[in-house]
């Protein structure tokens, strides 16, 4: 991906190196919220699927956070480059949705914020460890990313490449688009009225739409000459590697389609590719 000459976003908040405080009232260090290890495991699974783990973090009590002494020092030049890269990708999604929103939805696009953090972060949706991976919090309209996730994406999930990383950012931005359009609220309300299996099906449709929105951004990036040979394949591979079926097979040795919440590998590839090949948000109606 040709990104180094791109614009940097003004909406990135760098909280790397900030130390997390202890649970209110003292006690042992917080893992994630009041749910302990079990909640962490659930959040990790959700996050690795590429979605929004905040549904299990909503009840987390706040953690006091204080800046570490002195300026944060990255562990390597690569880390600073990843921070720079993430800022450029966010800026490019801003430009894309700034252009699309007036034409497609009759209004202006509200830019999300993006928070870079290490180890633990407090959001309006609760407190999360870096193990939950990237997530979007609709309550404060911000994306949260520990840059170490990119290494996990490459080494643990088998999805290397800068455009695979860009796909992750664009997917979370897709959740922001859904939030602005009221889709996220509609899904949550509908899920309260149906069975667990039906609620999972709605979640899958929501996640696949975010994949499609990520593909629409990818089409815009391609039209402006930002993509290089192999980039699309990197994104499609990432979409495949975080499919419910592949993750379940890896984690538990078998696949249970009724428990899917984000879509199979084939579905995630299909919907990203549908957005990418068309560049048309109208092709992203996964609910019809």
Per-residue pLDDT tens listing for the chain (288 residues): 999 999 999 999 999 987 543 222 222 222 222 233 333 444 444 454 444 454 444 434 443 334 343 456 666 788 899 999 999 999 999 999 999 999 999 999 999 999 999 999 999 999 998 888 899 999 999 999 999 999 999 999 999 999 999 999 999 999 999 999 999 999 999 999 999 999 999 999 999 999 999 999 999 999 999 999 999 999 999 999 999 999 999 889 999 999 999 999 999 999 999 999 999 999 999 998
Cα–Cα distance between 223 and 77 in angstroms, integer?
A: 30
pLDDT of 36 reads 33
pLDDT of 132 reads 85
Domain boundaries along the sequence of the chain: 12-284
Cβ proximity of 133 and 44 under 8 Å: yes
DSSP string, 232-251: HHHHHHHHHHT-HHHHHHHH
Could you tell me the pTM of the whole model? 0.83
DSSP string, 110-161: PPPEEEE-SSEEEETTEEEEGGG-SEEETTTTEEEE-THHHHHHHHTSS--S
Q: What does the radius of gyration of the chain's CA atoms come to, in whole angstroms? A: 18
């Amino acid at each position: 991906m040709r990104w180094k000459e791109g614009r940097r976003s003004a909406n990135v908040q760098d909280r790397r190196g900030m130390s997390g405080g202890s649970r209110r009232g003292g006690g042992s260090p917080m893992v994630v919220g009041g749910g302990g290890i079990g909640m962490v495991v659930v959040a990790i699974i959700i996050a690795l699927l590429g979605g929004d783990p905040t549904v299990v973090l909503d009840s987390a009590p706040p953690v006091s956070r204080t800046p570490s002494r002195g300026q944060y020092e990255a562990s390597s030049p690569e880390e600073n480059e990843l921070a720079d890269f993430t800022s450029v990708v966010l800026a490019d999604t801003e430009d894309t949705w700034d252009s699309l929103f007036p034409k497609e939805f009759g209004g202006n696009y509200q830019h999300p914020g993006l928070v870079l953090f290490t180890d633990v972060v407090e959001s309006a949706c609760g407190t999360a460890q870096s193990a939950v991976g990237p997530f979007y919090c609709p309550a404060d309209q911000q994306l949260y990313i520990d840059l170490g996730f990119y290494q996990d994406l490459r080494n643990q999930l088998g999805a290397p490449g800068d455009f695979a990383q860009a796909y992750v950012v664009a997917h979370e931005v897709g959740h922001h688009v859904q939030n602005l359009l009221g889709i996220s609220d509609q899904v949550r309300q509908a899920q309260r009225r149906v069975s667990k299996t039906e609620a999972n099906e709605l979640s899958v449709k929501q996640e696949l739409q975010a994949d499609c929105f990520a593909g629409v951004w990818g089409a815009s990036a391609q039209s402006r000459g930002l993509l290089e040979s192999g980039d699309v394949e990197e994104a499609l591979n990432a979409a495949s590697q975080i499919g419910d079926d592949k993750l379940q097979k890896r984690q538990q040795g078998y696949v249970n389609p009724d428990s899917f919440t984000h879509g199979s590998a084939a579905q995630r590839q299909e919907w990203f590719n549908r957005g990418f090949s068309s560049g048309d948000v109208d092709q992203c109606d996964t609910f019809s």
